[in-house]
Amino acid sequence: MRVRSCARGGGQSARAALAAALATTACAGSLELTPSDAPTVLSGHHLDAPSPALPGPHGVLTLYYGSGTDKNRAEYRDSVAIVTESVDASKLVSLGGSAKSRNRYWGFSPDSFPVNARVWYPDDPGP
> Cα–Cα distances in Å, from 95 out to 33, 48, 50, 66, 118?
37, 48, 45, 22, 25
Report the C-alpha gap between 113 and 91 in whole angstroms: 12
pLDDT in tens, 52-78: 889 888 899 999 999 999 999 999 999
Report the C-alpha gap between 78 and 74 in whole angstroms: 5
* % residues pLDDT > 90 (the chain): 46
113 neighbors 90 (Cβ within 8 angstroms): no
Dihedral sign, CA of 100, 101, 107, 108?
negative
Mean pLDDT of the chain: 83
Segment (H or E) for 81: strand 80-83
